[in-house]
Structures are given as structure tokens and as C-alpha cells.
Amino acid sequence: MAGCPRAKTIYCVGHVPAYTPHQGDAMVHEGEHRRSQGLRTLPLHEEHIRLGARMFAFGDRLMPLSYSSIIKEHLQVRRRAGLFDVSHMGRFALHGSAALETISGLVATDLAALPVGRAQYTVLLTPEGGIRDDLIVYREEQRVLLVVNAANTEADAAWIAEHLPENASLENLSEETGLLALQGPDALGVLSQVFGRDVAGMKPFTHARADLGSTECIIARTGYTGEPGAEVMMPAEAVSSVWSALLEAGAPGTVLPCGLGARDTLRLEAGLLLYGNDMDTTTTPFEAGLEWLVSLDRPGFVGREALLQAKAKGPRRVLLGLTTEARGIPRHGDRLKRDGESVGRVTSGSFSPVLGHPIALAYLVPEAGVVGQRVEVEVRGRLLVGRLVEPRFYRRGVTPLPPEKGERQDDSAPTGDGGRA
């Protein structure tokens, strides 16, 4: 229920994280009980198994990687609608008269004027001006909702609690609620049909309460794919019924379940950042292309002095996109070179199902970070030629989709290394 847009013009984006296997992750197949012992499961775990999901262990959780193939699910979201279980995300509620003021003092963005019913993507800051986490803040009438990255849930809760005044309190909703994301061109029509209200008429980054039978839900016009859609939060005991209602809506094939492998390729095509790969505590918002989030003209927020200094000095590195036509996928940590000298490193890389070739995000030293220039990327000991581009590879309604006839049905799309938990 949260997101990482690179610019205010991005259409309905968010930061619900994507997960793909990387070194240390374990694929869990039927009968491999030993591997799955002690791992936490999502409320919909049995439903994922029933639908034939390929599960993988990420941290202490079992997650659905894919149900059919990453490429097929990716293109399903680009063409129709895909349903994701993102209940692993951290969810908090801030209560009290100082709720909004409290979170505003910990993030890069001035939230004082955030209206009820609106949401704001932003970043939690360290005192040194680094990005502690990215999140979305949702203002309700009586409370402020926060959705954070799952791997940072405990750390974020502790950090916020450390800064709570007497007239504010923090409630962790992560276990008592569920979170689903329906994304794609048909998503808003399906949501309008299921909830009996004009979800399509809701503007991006707004949210409202809606009932499904006797279940009260919160619908937010956010996501993490570069497509229109929404995320729905509900009580944990109602996740299954909401999932089924959305999955069964519309004509056959309108909505299909999608795993977090496709979520990674979707967000990368749309140029959306992944915490832990593309930004972390060593990254400032200026370096990550998120300068538009920063409100330096207000006093007293965490990291302000450091960000003032960083802005005056200029960025140490710049974030750009990278494309290559060569065989081989640039991966997190792969070095970029020019004239034999190292000029940067890849942070995320994957095969693009829409473009049909590898794409990546990378940080480069400012003098080498020029769109249109060529660089070499070192992939598994080989130097491949790549071209630097703006860090957004897909734009809905502009980038043509591949024809459906002859669509690849295999699962050979290599995906990003690691991600947020």
C-alpha cells in the first residue's frame, strides 16, 4: 500500500516491494518440509499452494514467486489485471493529536498540509540524511496509516516509537490486517464492480473506506507496477474472501494471480526503486532522484542539516537507466566501466518482458552519468556494451506492448537480485 515514484507525473505507482530469489533464498517445493520449518506464512498461504504457486523463502517468510511464469504474469498486468498478495508489508497506525506532526518530523516531506483522504509517498531519514526506509503515509480522520517495507517493520517501529511525544501513540497493524494489490488496465473497473463504488473515479494517491459485505476495507489508489490499480487493506480474517471476490470478478482471464517475481520486473520497467537495492542508509534523496520529496524550508526534521550540506556540495553519484542488447543480465553489484576505469555499479537488473532485452538501474559518478553515452558493464567476467538512458523504461500508453500471439510461456526471465523484506 505504498511506493517509489521517480516523478510526480508517474501514474498510480507505489512501493509495495517485489521479491525474487537471490543468493541465500531457498525455493521451497512440495515435500521439502525441512526447508520451510520455522518460516512464517501469509494469511493466504494455503490458497497460494492450491493455485500452484512456486513458493520461496525470503528472510523468515514463505512468499509466492509465480503461479505460471514471470513473463506471463508480467504481461497480464500490462494488458489486463493481476492480483498480488502483499500482506507481508509493515502496517502501522499513528494515533493522537500529534500523529501527523510526529511522522512529518521523521521524513523528507512536509506533511502538515496533507488532507484527509490523501496519501503521500516519502522517505524516512537518518540524522546523516540517508534513506532509512521508503513508505506511504495515509491520512485518515482519526489516525495516520503508514505502510513500510516488511524487512524494516521492526526497525521502523522502534525508530518512530523513539520519537513519539506524549500526545501520540503507535499501533502495529501488520498481523491483524491483510493487504492485496490489484494492478493493470482493467483493475479499477474490477474494483468498482466488486465494491459497488466508483473506484475508477478516485484519483491516484487517494484512499477511502469501502464495504465488501460486512467487511470494512480501505481502498488506496497506490501500487508498484506503473499501471493503474489500487491496494486494499482488510482484517486478516477477511483476506481470503476479498481475494476470491477480486479473482473471480470480470470475464474469464481478466484477473489472474501474480507472484512477486513479476512485481520486480514490473517495477523495474517503470523505473521504481527497490529499498535495499537502489537506495539505503548511504543514499540521499538527491542521489536517488527523489529531490522533489525534500522540503528543506521547514526546520527541525531529522536529517535536515545533513541534506542542506549535501545539496550545497552536489551529488556524489547519479542514478540512471541502462539498456543492453547483449546476452547476459546486469545484476546488483556489477561494475560499470569506461576506458577501463570503474565509473559506477548496477543496483537492479532484469530482462524486460515488454522491451525484450535486459534493463538495469545503476549509480554512476556524475561526470560519467550522461544519458545517451555508452558504458561497459561487467557481467560474470564479460564486458558487455550498454547505453545510459533515463531511469524509466516503460510508460503506459506510450511504450508498445508485444503482440499476444507467440507470447513466450516459459519462465526464463531472470529477475532482480534480492529486495526488501
Answer yes or no: is 295 within a domain. no
Co-location of 70 and 179 in the same domain: yes
Answer yes or no: is 94 within a domain. yes
Answer yes or no: is 363 within a domain. yes
Determine what percent of the chain is predicted with pLDDT higher than 70. 87
d(CA 31, CA 297): 58
Q: Report yes or no: 133 and 160 within 8 Å, Cβ to Cβ.
A: no
Specify the CATH number for the domain of residue 189.
3.30.1360.120
DSSP of 225-268: SSSSEEEEEEEGGGHHHHHHHHHT-SSTTSEEE--HHHHHHHHH
d(CA 306, CA 296): 11
Average confidence (pLDDT) over 261-276: 97
> In the predicted model, is pLDDT for residue 2 greater than 70?
no
Domain boundary among 172, 200, 233: 172
Q: How many domains does the chain have?
A: 2
pLDDT bin (cut points 50, 70, 90) of residue 36 is low
Task: Kindly report the average pLDDT of the chain as a whole number.
Answer: 89
Helix ranges (H only) for 270-379 are: 304-313
For the record, the C-alpha cell of 135 comes out as: 513508505
Q: Report yes or no: 37 and 57 within 8 Å, Cβ to Cβ.
A: no
pLDDT at 327: 86
Question: Which pLDDT tens digit goes with each residue over 78-98?
Answer: 999 999 999 999 999 999 999
Average confidence (pLDDT) over 375-401: 96
Phi and psi at 225, nearest 5°, equal -130, -15
Co-location of 78 and 94 in the same domain: no
Average confidence (pLDDT) over 4-12: 31
Angle at 131 between CA 128 and CA 136, to 5 degrees: 135
d(CA 330, CA 349): 5
d(CA 293, CA 7): 9
Average confidence (pLDDT) over 404-413: 53
Average confidence (pLDDT) over 21-50: 64
d(CA 246, CA 234): 13
For the record, the C-alpha cell of 100 comes out as: 501527523
pLDDT bin (cut points 50, 70, 90) of residue 406 is low
pLDDT bin (cut points 50, 70, 90) of residue 15 is very low
Co-location of 140 and 196 in the same domain: no
Co-location of 238 and 324 in the same domain: yes
Mutual angle of helices 239-247 and 187-195, in 10-degree steps: 120
Average confidence (pLDDT) over 322-329: 92
Co-location of 367 and 339 in the same domain: yes
Amino acid identity for residue 147 in this structure? V
Answer yes or no: is 308 within a domain. no
Phi-psi region of 339 (alpha: psi -120 to 50; beta: other; left: phi over 0): left
Q: Report yes or no: 220 and 1 within 8 Å, Cβ to Cβ.
A: yes
pLDDT at 116: 98
pLDDT at 326: 84
pLDDT at 355: 97
Co-location of 49 and 133 in the same domain: no
CA distances to 84, 105, 191, 266 from 183, in Å: 8, 32, 10, 10
Specify the CATH number for the domain of residue 157.
3.30.70.1400
253 C-beta neighbours (distance < 10 Å), count: 11
Answer yes or no: is 294 within a domain. no
Co-location of 118 and 168 in the same domain: yes
Instruction: Between 340 and 414, name the one with better pLDDT.
Output: 340
Answer yes or no: is 351 within a domain. yes
| 193-229 burial: b if 16+ Cβ within 10 Å, else e | ebbebebeebebbbbbebebeeeebbbbbbbbbbbbb
Coil/strand/helix, residue 335: strand
Answer yes or no: is 312 within a domain. no
Co-location of 73 and 195 in the same domain: yes
Co-location of 200 and 220 in the same domain: yes
For the record, the C-alpha cell of 178 comes out as: 491483510
Answer yes or no: is 396 within a domain. yes
Co-location of 112 and 151 in the same domain: yes
Question: Which residue range forms the structural domain that includes residue 104?
Answer: 90-172
Sheet bearing 177-183, strands edge to edge: 207-212, 215-220, 229-235, 177-183, 81-85, 255-257
Co-location of 245 and 390 in the same domain: yes
Co-location of 216 and 329 in the same domain: yes
pLDDT bin (cut points 50, 70, 90) of residue 103 is very high
pLDDT at 10: 24
Domain boundary among 172, 196, 211: 172
Domain boundary among 113, 139, 172: 172
